[in-house]
Amino acid sequence: MPMMPDRLTETGTCRSTARGFHKRALWLSSGAALLALALMGSLEAARPSAGSLLNERLGCAACHGMDGIALSEEIPNLAGQDRSYLIRQLEAFVSSDPEAELKAGGTERYHSAMDAATRKLSYREREDLADFYAGLSCVPRGDLDPGSAPKAAQACAQCHGAFGINIEPGVPNLAGQKVDYLIAQLRAFRASLLGTDPFRVEQERFHQKMASQAHSLTDEDIERIAAYRSEEHTSELQSHVRISYA
């Protein structure tokens, strides 16, 4: 008489087979999940940042460039600029008082075009723009001899670094900055203490330390400082490359 199949054994075998099937299914689903996460990461990396979209949508790129390299000598490059410095300047434009008397502390920073543009931004949008520009790069040359700096520019190294790269957060990088822009800013700082400047057109700027440094500078000093600092960059400005200056 043939033996009856052991129902427990069959059940056990089915259970074991099912368990093996679930293990394979789990392995396959885990692999698919990892692949999906990798694809999502790639898509996220390729997706334009909020700051990049703002740069284009708000018209910032029309002056400061799609890659943070300004299209005019009178407009600053923003690529690779210090994040906290950028946020502080945007806030200064927002809180500026164009009617304030031109004197020490009258208004921290005013520019007719920037004043109008920044008042439209929320704090989050200002942060997004700062993140975007700080993440771009304006690569310094790093081969200039600090000893060759004009005498008037040597004091700048205490905060802005020997090669124009800031020593601490909140201080702007000067390496590779536009000559005409640097000249205009130094004249604005000087004017904030002297109370007058024939080159002042549509902007005011005050910073206690910078004003005290600039008030004794001649036009020739200012032009030499600006020319030297603007030379501290590579011949080819690279964008969208995050580099370390350390």
For a pLDDT cut of 90, what percent of the chain falls above it? 36
184: tokens are 């205009």
pLDDT at 166 over 60: yes
For 52-61, 130-139, 142-151, which range has the lowest pLDDT when averaged over its residues? 142-151
- CA 68 to chain centroid, in Å, comes to 8
pLDDT at 101: 52
In Å, how far are 7, 103, 111, 223 from 95, measured between CA atoms? 83, 16, 11, 30
| First-last CA distance in the chain | 87
For 10-14, 134-138, 202-206, 233-237, which range has the lowest pLDDT when averaged over its residues? 10-14
SS3 111: strand
SS3 109: strand
pLDDT at 232 over 80: no
pLDDT at 230: 87
More confident position, 42 or 79 = 79
Containing 106, the helix (H) or strand (E) segment is none
CA dist., res. 61 & res. 192, Å (int): 29
CA dist., res. 150 & res. 190, Å (int): 18
Nearest to 78 by CA among 153, 129, 12, 19: 129
For a pLDDT cut of 70, what percent of the chain falls above it? 63
Report CA Rg, the chain.
29
> Which pLDDT band holds residue 107 (cuts at 50, 70, 90)?
low
22: tokens are 């679930």
> Which pLDDT band holds residue 181 (cuts at 50, 70, 90)?
very high
For 25-39, 162-176, 190-204, which range has the lowest pLDDT when averaged over its residues? 25-39
pLDDT at 29: 53
pTM for the model: 0.70
For 13-22, 50-59, 105-114, 185-194, which range has the lowest pLDDT when averaged over its residues? 13-22
